[in-house]
Structure 1
Amino acid sequence: MSATWGRFVFAILCAGILAPDSSGAEAKPIHKVLLIGIDGCRPDAIEAAHTPHLDRLIKQGLYCENTDILASRETKGDTVSGPGWSNLLTGVWPDKHGVVDNSFKGSNYQEYPHFFARVKEARPESKTASFSSWPPIAEKILSHSDETINAKAQHAQDYLVADDELSTAAAKCIRAGKSEVVVCYFGQVDETGHGNGFHPTVKKYVESIERVDGYIGRLLEAIDERQKTSPETWLILVCTDHGGLGTNHGGGREKPEIRQVFIIASGAEVKAGKTSEPTYQVDIVATALDYLGIVPQANWKLEGQSVLDLKRSE
C-alpha cells in the first residue's frame, strides 16, 4: 500500500465512513412487511395464468393452499369483501370486528382496529402506508396510516387505471424506505369476475390476474433495490378475501370455489415449501407481527397463528 493511499483510508476511517460496528458484529437486518391483497382471486386461476412474479414468490416462499375465509367456529359473515378484508386487516373474525356484509353496519374497529394500530402501539416510531382502490378499505377499515392513497374506484375501468397507479405509488413508497409496513390492494380481478365469471377458463378473468402480476413485479423490483442497498429484509404476504363461482361470491359458505383460498408468505428468511395444513384469513396479521418481532398483547384479543411456523413439504 502506498503512503498516499494509506493516508486516504485512514482519513475515511477517522471520519466514520468505513468504521466497523463497535461491537464487531454485523448490523441486524431491519424487518419490513409488504402485504399484497388481490380481491376475488381464485388460486386455480393463478395456476392457469402466466404470472412470473407470483410464481417467483411461491417458489421462494411458503404457499398455503388450504386457507379458509371462515372461522373454525360458527360466526356470522357473508362471503363478501367487507368481512373478508376486515378479517385480513384486523386479525379477528366477524363476531369481534362486527362486519358481516358490505354495509359495515355494526363494525367494532375501535376495539379491533386495523393492524397498523397494533404496530404503532408496539412501536410508535414505525411508519405505515396503505394503497387501495376499493373505497371502504381506506374509509371504513384503515387507521394509523402515515401515507394513504384511496383511489375510490367504482367501475371496472376505474380499477384498471387505479391498480396501475397504486402499484407505481406503492413502489415509490418502498424505494423511499420510510415505511416498515406497506399494504397494497388490487381490485380489478374481483370486478372482472363479476362481469365475466370467476373461473380459470374465463379469459378476461385470467388476464386480469396477469395484469396484477405485472403490478406486483413493480413492487418486487422496488424491494429488490432496497435489499441490495440497505440492511432491510422483507416479508411479502399475498392474500385474497374470497374466490368466486359464476359471477358472484356471496352466500358461499358451503362452496369451496368461494371459501377456499390461499396465503403466500415469501422472503429471504422464509423456508420455501407448500403446506395443506388449515390456515385462515386471520393468520395474516399474526404472521406480519411475528416477522416484525411484535408480540401481541393479551388485550388485543387477536386470533390466528403465524404461518411462518408451519410444517412444510418441498
Structure 2
Amino acid sequence: MTQRKPYALIIGWDGVRHDRLSALELPALQAVADTGFLQGTTMPEESQAKTSTAPGWSTNLTGVWPTKHGITDNEPMPNNFGLYPHLLQRFLDAKPDGNTLACVCAAMLGSTKGPGPILAGGVSTLIFHDVRTHPLGPLGRDPLVFEDARRQLAERDYDLSFVYFAGTDKTAHLSGTLGKDYRDAIVQEDRWTGELINTIRQRPNFAEEDWLVVITTDHGHWDEGGHGGNSWQERQSFIAMARLDGDLGFVPSEQLANVDLAPTVLTHLGVKVLPDWDLDGAPLQR
C-alpha cells in the first residue's frame, strides 16, 4: 500500500476557555475529538509569563516555555527565536523544498508590533490581515482570514498551515465569557474550522493525503473578560487533534502540555525532533 503524503493544519481560536466548550454545539471540534482527542492544558504561571497573546502563541508554535523562547508579554522585548524557531521554520529547515502557509490577523504574529513578528521567517506564504486597519478589528478581519485560508487550502499544496482567528478573544474583552456573544463567537470559529476541514476533504488528491488537524488556543479569560494574570480562568488552554479518515495512533497522557504540539506536528510531517533542539515538549507519537 502506498504511503500517503503527510500534511498538517493548525487552527488557533484565540482566548477560548476550555471549560466553556462542553456547553456548546461545536460539530467540527466534536468530530476532531471523536476521532482523536480534546484535552485541557494549562499555560505557565504569571512568574514565567503573562497569559497573553504573544507568550501563548510563541509557546504553542515553538515547543518551549517562555523561559526559553523569551516572550513574556505583549510588549517589545528581545526573543530567542534564533535558538527556538517556530515549527514552520523548523519544517522548512528540515525540508527546504516544502511549503508553509500562515493566515493571521494578530499584529504580533505578522508585524513588528510588540515582540513581533512571531512568524518571522519560515513562512512560504504569509497572509496578514492587520486588525489595526479595520474599523471592526478582529471581528472584521477574521472573515477575510477564513476566506483566504479556504482558497489557499483548496488551490495550493501546503505541507504545514497555520490559520488564526482572533474574534473570540476580542468578544471576551468586550462582553465577557458568560454571555451569548462569546458563545456565538466560538460557534462561528467552529463553523469556519468545519468548512476548512471540508475544503481539505474536497481536494482532488485527498485520498492520497494524510492530514493531521490541530485546534488550540493561547490563554483563557476572566468571567468578565480580560487576561494576563494568574487565575485558573486565564491560564486555561486546550489541544484537540485528529487525523482525517485515519487513526491518530496514540493517546495523550494526562500531562499533555502546549509545548507538545510543535514536536507532534513535526513528527507527523516526517521531521525528526533532535535532542539538541532542547525542546520542552515531546512528540505524542512516542
Percent of aligned pairs sharing the same letter: 30
- Structure-1 separation of matches of 2:51 and 2:270: 32
- Any conservation in 2 of the 1:49–1:207 contact (CA below 8 Å)? no
Pick from 221, 224, 236: which aligns with 2:201? 224
- Larger displacement relative to structure 2 (299-308 or 102-111): 299-308
Task: Tell me the residue number matched to 2:107.
Answer: 135
C-alpha contact 2:54 2:118 (8 A) present in aligned 1: no
2:98 is aligned with 1:126? yes
Q: Aligned residue for 1:161?
A: 140
Alignment of 1:151 with 2:129, yes or no, is yes
Per the TM alignment, residue 230 of structure 1 is displaced from its structure 2 partner at its CA by 4.6
Letter in 2 for 1:110: G
Q: For the residues of structure 2 that align with 1:32 and 1:220, how far apart are their CA atoms?
A: 12
Q: CA deviation at 1:272?
A: 8.4
The aligned counterpart of 2:172 is 193
- Paired letter, 1:69: M
Paired position in structure 1 for 2:236: 260
How many residues are matched? 277
SS in 1 for 2:38: strand
Q: Partner residue of 2:114? A: none
**CA offset digits 1:92-143 (Å, max 9, x no partner):** 1111111110014021222222211110111111100001111111221112
Query: Cα distance, 1:172 vs. partner?
Result: 1.5
For 2:282, give the aligned amino acid.
Q
For residues 158-207 of structure 1, what are the alpha-carbon distances to aligned partners after superposition, in whole Å with 9 as ceiling and x for unaligned?
21221111112112211124110000000000000011112xx3110001
In the alignment, which of 175, 179, 183 is matched to residue 202 of structure 1?
Answer: 179
Amino acid across the alignment from 2:147: T
Q: Does the alignment pair 1:300 with 2:277?
A: yes
Q: For residue 219 of structure 2, what is the aligned residue in structure 1?
A: 242
Distance in 2 (CA, whole Å) between partners of 1:227 and 1:31 is 15
Residue 131 of structure 1 aligns to a residue in which SS? strand
Give 1:174's aligned residue.
153
Q: Which residue of 2 aligns with 1:116?
A: 88
Q: 1:81 aligns with which of 38, 49, 53?
A: 53
Alignment-derived partner of residue 33 in structure 1: 8
Unmatched 5+ stretches in structure 1: 1-25, 310-314
SS of residue paired to 1:263? strand
Q: Whole-Å Cα distance in 2 between the matches of residues 108 and 76 of structure 1?
A: 15
Equivalent residue letter for 2:226: N
**Cα gap change, 1:208/1:156 in structure 2, threshold over 3 Å: closer, same or farther?**
farther
The 3-state SS of whatever aligns with 2:281 is coil
CA–CA distance in 1 between the matches of 2:102 and 2:248? 27
**CA deviation after TM superposition for structure 1 residue 145, in Å:** 0.6
Instruction: Note if contact 1:286-1:303 (Cα within 8 Å) is conserved in structure 2.
Output: no
Larger gyration radius, structure 1 or structure 2: 1
**8 Å CA contact 1:58, 1:264 repeated in 2:** yes
Does the C-alpha gap of structure 1 residues 96 and 179 become closer, same or farther in structure 2, counting only changes over 3 Å? same
- Distance in 1 between the 2:273 and 2:283 partners? 11
CA contact (8 A) 1:156 1:188 kept: no
Amino acid at match of 1:208: A
| TM-score normalised to structure 1 length | 0.82
Which residue is 2:37 aligned to? 62
Give the helix-richer structure, 1 or 2. Answer: 1
SS at match of 1:47: coil
State the 1:211 CA deviation.
Answer: 0.9
- Cα deviation digits, residues 220-265 of structure 1 (max 9, x gap): 111111276451110001110011112111112xx22221321001
What are the Cα deviations for residues 14-46 of structure 1, in whole angstroms up to 9, with x where unaligned? xxxxxxxxxxxx321001000001100011222
- Distance in 2 between residues matched to 1:273 and 1:187, nearest whole Å: 30
| Residues 162-171 or 34-43, more deviating | 162-171
SS in 1 for 2:190: helix
Judged with a 3 Å threshold, the aligned counterparts in structure 2 of structure 1 residues 275 and 287 are, in CA distance, closer, same or farther, namely closer
Task: Report the more deviating stretch, 234-243 or 224-233.
Answer: 224-233
Contact 2:105–2:166 (CA<8 Å) still a contact in 1?
yes
The CA deviation string for residues 68-95 of structure 1, in whole angstroms up to 9 with x for no partner, is: 2128xx9621111111011011111111
